[in-house]
Amino acid sequence: MTINRRAVLTGIAAAPAAALAAGAGRASLAAEGAGGTAPVVHAFTLGEARITVLLDGHLPLGTQLFNGYDDARAKEVLAQGLHRLQDDALQIPVNGYLVERGGQKLLIDTGTAQLMGPGLGALGAGLAAAGVAPEAIDTVLLTHIHPDHAGGLIAADGSAVFANAELVAAQREWDFWHDDAILAGVPDSSRGFFDMARRSVAPYADRMRLLQGESEAAPGFTALELPGHTPGHTGFMLDAGGEGLLFWGDLIHSTALQFALPEWTIAFDTDPAQTAETRRRMLDRAAADNLLVTGAHLDFPALGRVLRQGDAYAYQAAPWQFGL
Ligand SMILES: [Zn+2]
């Protein structure tokens, strides 16, 4: 399924119901990924933490999704790197993370499970390949409640996949998706996002912890407000004993285009102007402070630094075996 504007507005809205009808269960998810995709993981150590990047799969991101898309400008930027367009789409990864630190076993985001079609849904298989059962996860941090981040919270029957985990998200994010007045004002085609968001967090309602602004999300993790993509979109800064890593969620959707063209927001951004402003602020900080960064849609294995390049930025990928 190529994600184009129509699919965003209509296809995904219908996806949760379709997934329920298909009846895929937790067992099949753990065995091979919801879409039959093989597990792909990249593990490295950072200070006292062991971090495993769990690739859920790739989404074809149609170029028409970019606000103000300029084909000539895009091709010029793409020609400088090795990214290629395929059927007017860029392949963007969906990454989640396992962080093991002391006795802590924490996930950041949970992939799509069966919500977004074939070629995705491998995060659970990656976790199994890392030797960790869903029941062993003690904390799940959500950057935001979109289907490619929260979809893996629930099995096809709607039950919680992480039976013993506390679920942590921003209060502002929770409030947005649970606000009936906001829901009443959105187009019918966007209601599926609200339905999916509510359904994915519902079985965790009695073990949710909601974050108020910049605060401790879990031991070693500080939540950073990165609003725009969604109202409560949140980054997490890990302090792994003197070594830091910023998990920035969806600050960048396209590694290929948005470091060079940071004003190019996409159709999923709730507030495009705020998205671009937040992106600039965080990229400036990451470049100035030489931060090690990772993101849900950065090219796998999604670990590197941000370089300032004139008025824009560039991504410097870390060596594959970083920290080993
Ligand atoms: Zn995303």
Strand partners, 168: 141, 209
pLDDT surpassing 70 at residue 291 = yes
Report yes or no on 172 lying in a domain: yes
Give the whole-angstrom CA distance, residue 146 versus residue 132.
Answer: 24
The CB density around residue 249, as the number of other CB atoms within 10 Å, is: 26
The 10s digit of each residue's pLDDT in 82-95 is: 898 999 999 999 99
How many domains does the structure of the chain reveal? 1
Report yes or no on 63 lying in a domain: yes
Report yes or no on 324 lying in a domain: no
Query: What pLDDT sits at residue 324?
Result: 59
Place of tokens 């062993």: 136
Report yes or no on 96 lying in a domain: yes
Element of type H or E holding 13: helix 12-22
Query: What pLDDT sits at residue 81?
Result: 87
CATH number at residue 159: 3.60.15.10
Q: Residues 157-184: what's their mean pLDDT? A: 98
Our CA dihedral for 149, 154, 160, 165, rounded to 10 degrees, sits at: -20
**Mean pLDDT for the chain overall:** 89
Instruction: Kindly give the distance from the C-alpha atom of residue 55 to the centroid of ligand 1, in angstroms, as a whole number.
Output: 13
The 10s digit of each residue's pLDDT in 259-286 is: 999 999 999 999 999 999 999 999 999 9
Q: Residues 185-207: what's their mean pLDDT? A: 95
Report yes or no on 323 lying in a domain: no
Report yes or no on 322 lying in a domain: no
**Sheet containing 40-46, strands listed edge to edge, beginning at the edge strand earlier in sequence:** 40-46, 49-62, 89-101, 104-108, 139-141, 166-170, 208-211
Higher pLDDT, 126 or 26: 126
Element of type H or E holding 47: none
Strand partners, 245: 238
Query: What pLDDT sits at residue 118?
Result: 80
Instruction: Kindly give the distance from the C-alpha atom of residue 94 to the centroid of ligand 1, in angstroms, as a whole number.
Output: 7
Identity (one letter) of the amino acid at 304? Answer: G
Place of tokens 């060079």: 260
Q: Residues 150-166: what's their mean pLDDT? A: 97
Give the whole-angstrom CA distance, residue 124 versus residue 9.
Answer: 27
Least confident of 55-59, 126-130, 188-192, 209-213: 188-192
pLDDT surpassing 70 at residue 251 = yes
Report yes or no on 134 lying in a domain: yes
Report yes or no on 51 lying in a domain: yes
Range(s) of the domain holding residue 103: 5-317
Higher pLDDT, 1 or 21: 1
Query: What pLDDT sits at residue 10?
Result: 36
Query: What pLDDT sits at residue 18?
Result: 34
Instruction: Kindly give the distance from the C-alpha atom of residue 149 to the centroid of ligand 1, in angstroms, as a whole number.
Output: 6
Give the whole-angstrom CA distance, residue 262 versus residue 15.
Answer: 30
Instruction: Kindly give the distance from the C-alpha atom of residue 229 to the centroid of ligand 1, in angstroms, as a whole number.
Output: 9
